[in-house]
Structure 1
């Protein structure tokens, strides 16, 4: 069944599914090659192997918990994740984080298309051509247009394929290299630990803007814990397994960072290289569908904030998804290696925008509104939530500015970074400062309904 409600509220009659499906979806979304690269980067940046594993684990647990708290909103509200930002930012004010989310989705979709295109080219024997990227874009478009249920089914299949494929690669790696050799290096310190935490926590926070899109069809009476735990365990276990493999691969040396897909094929051996290429494509396909679907949701949510629309026709949804995927494929085809590196850094900097957004959204939902939302008012700029909400917008801006001295990226390094051993803790600062500014202000000014107000249909 296609997701016919798009950005609209999902009525009880259309609710279905089981919480365990959340586990397989987010397990497969994390068991993929880009997460492996993220783990490997910790070692590339100089973090000791064991310190990297511990830091990545702490970041996945903390970031995964924040992400799963967003997922738990889905069944109760029956709404896409980012449209709930209108409760805090106002019907039109929510366009700012929505626009930034679209850029983030596009960036990850582009890099995912490059990697999957390389794997498909090796399967088809068309190395060096754009054929693989185009094929991957077409497959992504078909599944993303099919919608919610098909994406969940893909997640279940991809989780099995990814576990088998990457489990085999881990066995091959450990057979060729002793574990103590893979984790060798100078002793780690607190700065290295925080750096590894930043890599994995930042990874988890990229899912926060759309995680509830895939839990909102669950029955409205699904307990919060039955949503939180499958999502948390799926995303944390999947990411930690992939990133652990990345740490071990980086410890082995070789050409992985420069040629991820080729390295994986060589590690598998000639007989099974094709199977691993299929596993790479399956893992990236799941998360790329999430990116395309999320980009479509955010695009139509921005438009609806201006014209008051509650839903869109299937043709409109198909057109927006197709345009999003076409743009990501074009960027992937024409992007130089330098462009991809710079664009990835740009996407990582966009995480600065989602840390304060996450703080505002979670504080409002769990501590201020306490799950009481006027859903019809989300579609009217003259309603309860207004066009723009000053406390959220100002707190959001303060949260972003508070992170600037602590950012450590290729495009910019803050003055406080050296004092912290060249460690980026901007996301920790952003969460705390935004919470401290927003909570007391919103507590005094927010008009919370006495109970949930649902559409009259």
Structure 2
């Protein structure tokens, strides 16, 4: 038996960025439900209710923003996932069609960075959640607890991501039931904390505040996954309906977040103390309203849900690393990203004093070019009528070429415009206050002196994310139509 066969028999996926063999493409659209639902059915989603209300919205506005932001963002993931069944390759390999085999490295770098960032954030949150809940129980919560929690959580994430697609799919189907049941239990046990009279009397906010909350919800949910959306649909049968892929992606991704965020709105809107606490310590504050006997199930559900999301992220970040030209097996790529994740978690949990503010600023910054890429990718998918030429995705002299300068330039311009319309004046991030440089020229607000923030309603709406996405989409639909037709006709 060869070494490769031994690895396969151990249940480890050896397929990397290469095309998935037709014999292995046996998944049904409904199979997409398990990874997407499991990764998003987390009690942590309840905390977003406080974030949404932080924009000063009424109950009706907050619910509308939540439903639209979550559903639209996961529908966008579904559109990108169509490329997976058309090309049987990871998202960042399929992105070579609009960007060129070499040009794809530009969005690939941003995709890898944001994936590493998100999965590290989830691992950090899971580690801190463990320490917080055990402290509530009086079972520790100090350095020793964090060391053990960090080691166990990192091991779970890395082991599952190294094993690959088939193990992850089985794991996610189990986690869906466990985390779903515990989340329902949390809602039932805290429902008496809701004060409907208080929540329904919340005053409404401005249109700019509604837009800002909408962008925050989109980037916090579906847009956080969009750069890896096709990684799970590449195992779908080639004759699968694209509409079914979009539908299952949207349903699975959006179902839990909509319910959880709306519940979080009701919970946070009922108590100023609870709402303020969630902003600084989401897991600890959510646990504070639970009976003691439920803290252990709450901890298990919280950690498993966060681990579930991190597993999807690290699996895909490994594939993205391979797409950038790193020549190692897929399990090794996942392991490399796992080492980075572990190092980042250890640093933040045990060394860093101020991390979350700078880290949030870092993710917002990366969110702009990823939104630009998403617009370009969705526009390109909409223009195509045929499956991808899979061999040409790996050949710079093939029909997709080395560099598609229109897409590269579009992403650069969209990112420059987008960064000019977002603000990152988060505590401890003076190094990132260069953004927002188009807000005053466009008459959308005024920068206050001495780094005191902005005057006006529009600066904090973070229009740059929407602008980057729109520029990428519209320019692609108009400027790349003939290029796509030439590609599908077989011209290099």
TM-score (norm 1): 0.90
Q: How does 1:35-434 map to 2 (within 5 A)?
A: 35-121=45-131, 122-123=133-134, 125-129=139-143, 130-131=146-147, 132-203=149-220, 204-251=222-269, 252-253=271-272, 254=274, 255-303=277-325, 312-313=328-329, 316-317=332-333, 319-334=335-350, 336-367=352-383, 369-410=384-425, 411=433, 412-413=435-436, 414-415=439-440, 416=442, 417-418=444-445, 421=458, 422-434=460-472
Structure 1: state its 5+ residue gaps. Answer: none
Distance 2:59 2:344 in 1: 34
Superposed CA offset, 1:194-245 (max 9, x none): 1221112112111111111111112121111221111111111122122223
Distance 2:14 2:260 in 1: 34
Change (3 A) 1:181 1:155: farther
Structure 1 position 68, deviation (Å): 0.9
Superposed CA offset, 1:15-74 (max 9, x none): 123322212321221222443333321112333333111112111122121111111222
Distance 1:115 1:183 in 2: 31
Structure 1 position 279, deviation (Å): 0.4
Distance 1:4 1:275 in 2: 35
Distance 1:112 1:423 in 2: 25
**Mapped contact 1:365–1:371 kept (Cα < 8 A):** no
Change (3 A) 1:315 1:181: closer
Count matched residues.
446
Q: How does 1:29-40 map to 2 (within 5 A)?
A: 29-40=39-50
Change (3 A) 1:347 1:175: same
Change (3 A) 1:337 1:227: farther
**Mapped contact 2:322–2:330 kept (Cα < 8 A):** no
Aligned-residue CA RMSD in angstroms?
A: 2.4
Change (3 A) 1:33 1:108: farther
Distance 1:327 1:98 in 2: 22
TM-score (norm 2): 0.84
**Mapped contact 1:21–1:156 kept (Cα < 8 A):** no
Residue 437, structure 1, aligned to residue 475, structure 2: yes
Structure 2: state its 5+ residue gaps. Answer: 1-10, 426-432, 446-455
